[in-house]
Structures are given as C-alpha cells and as structure tokens.
A and B are shown apart, each in its own frame.
Chain A
Amino acid sequence: MSSETKQTRENIYRLDGLSKVFKFTFLQTIKSKSYRVSFIIFVLVMIMQKPINYFTSRAGHASTDAKATVSAESIDTIYFSNESGLPMDVNEIKKDLSAKTEDEAGKQVADKITSIKQTADETVKSLGAKDCLVVISRGEEGFAVKGVVAEETEVDVSEVDALAGFFEEEFTTAKQEQSGITEEDIKMLQNGISVEKLASYTEYNGSSDEDVTKTQFMGYALTFAIIIFLVSSMGASYVIGSVTEEKTSKLVESLLVTVRPMALLLGKILGMLAYVLMTLLTGIIGAKIIDIVMFDVMKLEPIQGTETMFDFGVLTKFGYGMTALFIVTLLFGFLAFGILAGMLGSACSKTEDIQSATGTVMMISMAGYLGSVFIGGLSAAWAPTVLALVPPFTFFSLPVLFACGKIGVGVLVGGFAVQAVLVVLFAWLMAKTYRNLLLADNSKPKLGALLKALKA
C-alpha cells in the first residue's frame, strides 16, 4: 500500500459524537419499559436487603430466646436429677431462671424446682399427675437432657419441652465454665478465625483500629463480586443486543457515516453505565436511608453477625475514600466487559447469535466471580496479590482486598494499572474489530472471528 493511501486512512479512534450517542442511549434506556421495571426491582432489592437480613436474623434470635421462656402452669413440682457427673447448683439455676424471665411467672417456676437425691428411676415411679422430672444423664454417646411425666399425666407437654431446653442451656453453661472457657473465647470459636489487623486500611484512613475477620472479609468479597457480576452482566447483555440490533437492522451503515466505531460503541457502553450507576446510587442512597431509619430513628438493636451477610451497603461501609475506589473498579470492570460484549456483538450476524455472544461474556464474568471467591478463601500468601493483579479476578476483588488489608497501596495501584491497560487495549481492539465485522454478514461471535477481523 502506498504512503499516499496511508495518509488518507480513516482515523477510527476519534471520539466525535460520543456525547450524542451517550445521551441517546441513556434516554432510550430510561424510556424503555423493561429497563424502568428492572430499575425499580434492582433498587427495591438493594433497599430491602438490610431489613430482610435484620428481621430474619432477629426471628432466629427470638426463637432461641423463646427456649428460655418457660412456664409451669400445669405443673406442681419440677424434680431435677443431675446424673451427669458435673456439679450444678440448683439455686444458681433458679436465679438464672428468674433473671431470664424477669417476671413473676419465672419466679413461680423457679420455686417449683426441687433437687432430688434418689435416682431418677426411683423418682419416675412416684411421679404424680401434675409432676415432672428433668434428668441430665451421661451415656456412651454424650450427655442427654430428658423431661419425664407420669403415665396418667395432666401436665402440658410443651411446658416440659421448654423446661428441658432451659436445663440444657444451663448445663452447657456449667460445662463451659468448668472447662475454663470464657464467653469471648466462645465467640471467637464461633467465628472460627483469628483476628487480623487492618494495617493498610489504617494507613489509608489514618484513624481506624477496626478489625476484619476472615468471615467478614469473605462476606464483603462475595457481596462486591456479586455486584460486579450483576452490573457487568446487565451491561453486556444490553450492549450485545444493541450492537446486534443495529447490525442486523442495517442501521449501522447510516450510523457509520456520522460517527466513528469507537465513539459509537463507547457512547453505548457509557450510556448503559450511566443507567447502572443511577440504579446503584439510588439503591445505595435508599439503603443508607433505611439504615438511618432502622438504627437512628427506630433505635433497633444491631444484631451481631448480620454484617457478614450479603448487603449492598458494603460499597459505603469503609468510608468515602473506599467508596470511590469501589466505584473506580466498578467503572473499569463495566468498561472491560462492555467493550468485550461490543466486540462479540459486532460479530453477531443474526439475533440467534446473541445468546452465544452473551454466553461467552457471562462465562468469563462467572469465571472472574467464582475465581475471586474461591482464591479469596485460600489462606496462601500469594492469593490476594494474584486476585488483585490478574484479570478478570482483579475487577471482582481489588478494592475489597485493599479495604480489608489484604494488599498494600502498591498492589492496589498495580491492580488499577492492569485494569486501565486492559480497558485501553480492549478499546483499541474493539475499534478495529467493530469496523471490520459490522458490515460482515456471515461472521460468528467466536474468538476466531475477532482475531480474523483484527488481521483484516
């Protein structure tokens, strides 16, 4: 090819017209009924996540507490036989019962408890119609708590069950006390993991001594990965559908005499990104308002453990600086997957090809999501660095790794550099493939077709 020809080659990377494509895409998305419905559903899910988590956890706690709420209206005497070998003070048990129930009924139940000296077998024979026996025994398979009543009993069986539950708790506490385990130790054991210091977050924030357990880290990582997966999937399916529609309806020829491929596709992706950000921000603001209403206005007690549940509030949990980092990663992730979707969309020749193109993007996105969760769960020292620097995992985990102190500032910057380079590289590839494939009638959304288009 002559140098003269090279001089007249069209610059396909120019971005004139991008703002108009962006505006049109955004406005048409908002006007679309299906996208309006998606917006409402997505925002509702985000807003309702916290109350749902809270009230389901509270219901669980309430049912646990109910075990301690005992009554003995149908019972005259509660015989208690301790055959476990572990000493238990009946007076302490009575005190606990009074303290937990905190009403007159509780004291009345406590007054009915009588410790027996003879064996349980002997007591069973002499039980009256309004008596019951609670036995704690030790067998080959461990300890057992049993509630026993007479053959011709008039006792309400549910009251006996509640009593047995109460004695079980008392026995567990006694057992732990005698083993020398404190309540703090028990909480630690329940969390399962040792505590780690948030060194990097402290450096960044300058004032925090907050600790993040592994369980909490996994909760945040999972939540962020799901958010990225959701938004990138939403964006990718829109971009593929839109590009294929323009290609199959032959609109693209009219478009390409007024706007260049790069501006056309980036305008679309950014228009969709604006819709996604609008949805996310509305959801985050809504979730924050709900948070304020629940805990500041209604003064509800926070429940321990709910912070590790799936919650969109993770984006704002670590302060404004970290929220910005979350959003930057979200932007890079959205752009990378959106551009990839655009390239594959330009290779679609029929509407039937959309499924295949969407499947490819979803597969890569799913690999990123699952990989980041799986590798994030490993204790290996290399795991956080790999997640932070290797695509596609970096899009799903970089800010969470930094927020939880798993990586330092250097790796964070490196991760962002990798993301930025990948987006620029994708955009360059996109402009070439997009232009060559848009007018091709027989291309397929496969990697081979993209490579062929790059060479053309």
Chain B
Amino acid sequence: MSLVVKDLFKQYGEKTVVDHISFSMEKPGVYALLGTNGAGKSTSIRMILGMLEKSGGEVTWNGGPLNFDTCNIGYLAEERGLYPKYTLLDQIRYFGELRGVTGKVLEDRIAYWAERLKVEEYLFPEKATEAEEQKKEAEGESKPARPVRKKKVKPKSADQLSKGNQQKIQFMIAMLSDPELLVLDEPFSGLDPVNTDILKEVVREQIAAGKYIIMSSHQMEVVEEFCTDITILHRSKAMVTGNLNDIKKNYGRVNLLLKVEQDVTDIIKKEGIEILSEKEYEYRLKVTGDEQGNRLLAALVEAKIPVVRFDLSELSLHEIFVREVGEEANEQ
C-alpha cells in the first residue's frame, strides 16, 4: 500500500493557501505535517481526505483516488466537536455505523476503546455506579436494612464532559473502524500528561500494527518521537520534505554540549566556535560540524583539561523547524 500526494494546490480567489505540496508514504509509519499557524496543514489534510475540493494536484492510495470508499480512514480533526445534547453512546454508534461497523462488532469495539481510553464511566454510567457499589460492599460498608430503589442513571451527553474527555471520545470514534490510514490533526493538544500518555501508547500500538499515520502537531518533541518522515509548511509552501534522519544528517552534527571543571572560554573562542550559553563550566556550543568539534576536543586534551562531558549531536526537529521557518520569515 502507498499514499502519494502530488502537487497539491488550493487557491481561494487570488490567494494561494496550499502551494504544490508533494510527499509520499511507501510503507507504514508516521508522516508529520508541520508548520506555523495558517501554513496550510489543515487545508492540506482536508484536501487529502477529499472533504475540500482541490484546485490542483492529486492524492492516490494504492494508485487509485483516495476517499472513504477506497480506504478505511480514521480522522481526528483539529477542531473537534460532538453533538452537545445527544447521548455519547448514540453518537458513537452513529459514527461507527457511518463507517460501516455495526452490530456486535460495533458494541465490542465501543467496549474495548471505552476501557482502553478510560471513558467507561461516561459511556456506561450504570455499570460504573454498580461497580462503585460493589467496591463499597467489598470494603465492608454495611448494606441498608431495606433494599433501596436504585436511581436511574441517565446516559451522559457531550456537554457534560471535560474537553479532554471529549477529545478521547473523538479519538475513539476515529479508531472504531480499525482504520488503515489514520489522520491525526493535533492529537495531543489540550490533553493532560496522563491522557497524553494513554493516547501515545495507542499511537505506538498502531505503528506496531503497520498503520499509515499522518500527524500534524505543534509539539515537536512528540512528533520527533513517532515520525519517520516530515514536511514543514510555511506560508502555504513546503520548506522541507523527506526522511527525518536524512534531513538531520544534511544539517550535520552542529550541537555540542561540553562540560569541564574550569573556564575554557578562551580555547573555545580560539577555535572560532559560537557559545550559545554557559553555566558553571557547562557550555552549549554551535559548531560547523564534526571537524570543528573534534578540533576543540583535541585542543582541550592538549591543554590537559579534564572533559566531563562531550556530546556532539544533530539538530533537533524543533531547531530545524525554527531554522527553516524563521529564515524564510526573515527573508520575507
């Protein structure tokens, strides 16, 4: 299977909002679409998924057009929403049925994801109440002398949930059809650390299961954790496209973290190296590459200065992003 996005183009009147973007996913994994606000990420995703008409270009899945007839798609939109007044179960079933999942399979999947995403108490409040009562009994709380009439627990609607829990429900909706292509637009924004970890774990499982995932996010460290390939968009154009490791290699190993036990500022300056910061003989340096870094190390050894830490590394995704977008912004 493969996803190919070729020359994707969108214009509103005279304004170009997506300018000939191309990328492909030849094998399962995570492809990251990164960019500043208004760079064209969400518009690109909407065109890829066929919900917005393209002004030009094409999107193919296994050589044919990509749409929800040709591919089982799961989508978590950036701007999330649920019917505020309908019960959660009703709308989850509705979306499940629209995605072709029905009957027992649907009920089983709802139960599985409710447990997995820890939203059972909202979907099945009666079960949650029963479980609570059983727990109280087990803890030794005395039973009332006469049987008490059980209160009917009303099913929950979306407006009774926090934003984070609503987001988990929508993630669940995206997963109901067991999609082969999963598109996650800012999946972790607005989640607390506990729920972020729950979702991250699910994403890891999906990667391991060989799913194709397109992810858009502002959280670079999260993207870096999952993605293999990236496209950085800025002002509707693709600034960088390709495999993340290759991109990093192209920039070279330019970050140097040096920790010593005395002041070595003179030696660093003598080698022509830029000091980014310094705190108690721990230096963050910017070198031009391996050669300049090795020259500094040799100079330190020659001066018989004990080196506690010498860490020469590539640019982080965050730095690549800022460098590409920042430079372009400055040029303009």
Residues of A bordering B, CB below 8 Å = 1-2, 4-5, 7-10, 16-17, 20-21, 24, 27-28, 31, 245-246, 249-259, 435-436, 439, 456
The answer to whether B216 has its CB under 8 Å from any CB of chain A is no
Question: How near does chain A come to B113, taking the closest CB pair, in angstroms?
Answer: 15
CB-contact partner of A255 in B53, B67, B97, B98, under 8 A: B98
> Does the CB pair A10–B81 fall under 8 Å?
no
Contacts A5-B54, A28-B86, A254-B173 aside, 15 further interface pairs with beta carbons under 8 A come to A1-B56, A8-B65, A10-B50, A10-B53, A20-B98, A246-B83, A249-B84, A253-B51, A254-B77, A254-B95, A257-B51, A257-B73, A258-B95, A259-B98, A439-B51
Closest partner residue, chain B, to A6 (CB atom):
B58
Q: How far is the CA of A436 from the CA of B13 in the complex (A)?
A: 13
> Does the CB pair B56–A5 fall under 8 Å?
yes
Q: How far is the CA of A8 from the CA of B79 in the complex (A)?
A: 26
> Does the CB pair A257–B75 fall under 8 Å?
yes
The answer to whether B46 has its CB under 8 Å from any CB of chain A is yes
Residues in chain A near residue B86, CB distance under 8 A:
28
> Does the CB pair B170–A254 fall under 8 Å?
yes
29 contacts between A and B (CB under 8 A): A2-B56, A5-B56, A5-B57, A7-B65, A8-B58, A8-B65, A9-B54, A10-B50, A10-B53, A10-B65, A20-B94, A20-B97, A20-B98, A28-B90, A250-B77, A253-B77, A253-B81, A254-B75, A254-B77, A254-B81, A255-B98, A256-B49, A257-B49, A257-B75, A258-B95, A258-B99, A259-B98, A435-B53, A456-B53
Q: How far is the CA of A264 from the CA of B80 in the complex (A)?
A: 18
Residues in chain A near residue B75, CB distance under 8 A:
253-254, 257
> Does the CB pair A249–B68 fall under 8 Å?
no
Residues in chain A near residue B174, CB distance under 8 A:
254
Sort chain B's interface into a size bin.
35 or more
Closest partner residue, chain B, to A248 (CB atom):
B81
Residues in chain A near residue B60, CB distance under 8 A:
8
Question: How near does chain A come to B257, taking the closest CB pair, in angstroms?
Answer: 43
CB-contact partner of B83 in A10, A251, A256, under 8 A: A251
Closest partner residue, chain B, to A10 (CB atom):
B50
Question: How near does chain B come to A248, taking the closest CB pair, in angstroms?
Answer: 8
The answer to whether B52 has its CB under 8 Å from any CB of chain A is yes
Closest partner residue, chain A, to B11 (CB atom):
A456
Q: How far is the CA of A256 from the CA of B83 in the complex (A)?
A: 15
Closest partner residue, chain A, to B50 (CB atom):
A10
Residues in chain B near residue A250, CB distance under 8 A:
77, 79-81
Question: How near does chain B come to A255, taking the closest CB pair, in angstroms?
Answer: 7
The answer to whether B59 has its CB under 8 Å from any CB of chain A is yes
- Interface of chain A, main secondary structure: helix
The answer to whether B82 has its CB under 8 Å from any CB of chain A is yes
Residues in chain A near residue B50, CB distance under 8 A:
10, 257
Question: How near does chain A come to B174, taking the closest CB pair, in angstroms?
Answer: 8
Q: How far is the CA of A2 from the CA of B95 in the complex (A)?
A: 35
> Does the CB pair A9–B53 fall under 8 Å?
yes
Residues in chain B near residue A21, CB distance under 8 A:
98
The answer to whether B55 has its CB under 8 Å from any CB of chain A is yes
Which has the most chain B C-beta neighbours within 10 Å: A24, A27, A251, A254? A254
> Does the CB pair A5–B58 fall under 8 Å?
yes
Question: How near does chain B come to A384, taking the closest CB pair, in angstroms?
Answer: 44
Q: How far is the CA of A63 from the CA of B100 in the complex (A)?
A: 67
> Does the CB pair B58–A253 fall under 8 Å?
no
Question: How near does chain B come to A127, taking the closest CB pair, in angstroms?
Answer: 79
Which has the most chain A C-beta neighbours within 10 Å: B53, B68, B81? B81
Q: Mark B22-56, 1 if CB is under 8 A from A, else 0.
A: 00000000000000000000000010011111111
Q: How far is the CA of A255 from the CA of B80 in the complex (A)?
A: 11
Residues in chain A near residue B51, CB distance under 8 A:
253, 256-257, 435, 439
Closest 5 CB pairs of A and B: A250-B81, A249-B81, A250-B79, A253-B77, A256-B51
The answer to whether residues A1 and B95 also contact, given A250-B81, A253-B77, A257-B73 and a CB cut-off of 8 A, is no
Q: Mark B261-286, 1 if CB is under 8 A from A, else 0.
A: 00000000000000000000000000
Question: How near does chain A come to B250, taking the closest CB pair, in angstroms?
Answer: 32
Q: How far is the CA of A7 from the CA of B52 in the complex (A)?
A: 16
CB-contact partner of A249 in B12, B82, B98, under 8 A: B82
Closest partner residue, chain A, to B51 (CB atom):
A256
Q: How far is the CA of A182 from the CA of B104 in the complex (A)?
A: 78
Question: How near does chain B come to A254, taking the closest CB pair, in angstroms?
Answer: 6
Closest partner residue, chain B, to A7 (CB atom):
B65
Q: Mark B65-78, 1 if CB is under 8 A from A, else 0.
A: 10111000101010
CB-contact partner of A4 in B55, B58, B82, under 8 A: B58
Question: How near does chain A come to B176, taking the closest CB pair, in angstroms?
Answer: 10
Question: How near does chain B come to A252, taking the closest CB pair, in angstroms?
Answer: 8
> Does the CB pair A258–B68 fall under 8 Å?
yes
> Does the CB pair B55–A1 fall under 8 Å?
yes
Residues in chain A near residue B82, CB distance under 8 A:
249, 251
Closest partner residue, chain B, to A257 (CB atom):
B75
Question: How near does chain B come to A431, taking the closest CB pair, in angstroms?
Answer: 11
> Does the CB pair A253–B65 fall under 8 Å?
no
Residues in chain A near residue B90, CB distance under 8 A:
24, 27-28, 31
Residues in chain A near residue B54, CB distance under 8 A:
5, 9
Residues in chain A near residue B83, CB distance under 8 A:
245-246, 249, 251
The answer to whether residues A10 and B80 also contact, given A255-B98, A258-B95, A436-B53 and a CB cut-off of 8 A, is no
Q: How far is the CA of A439 from the CA of B12 in the complex (A)?
A: 13
Question: How near does chain A come to B72, taking the closest CB pair, in angstroms?
Answer: 11
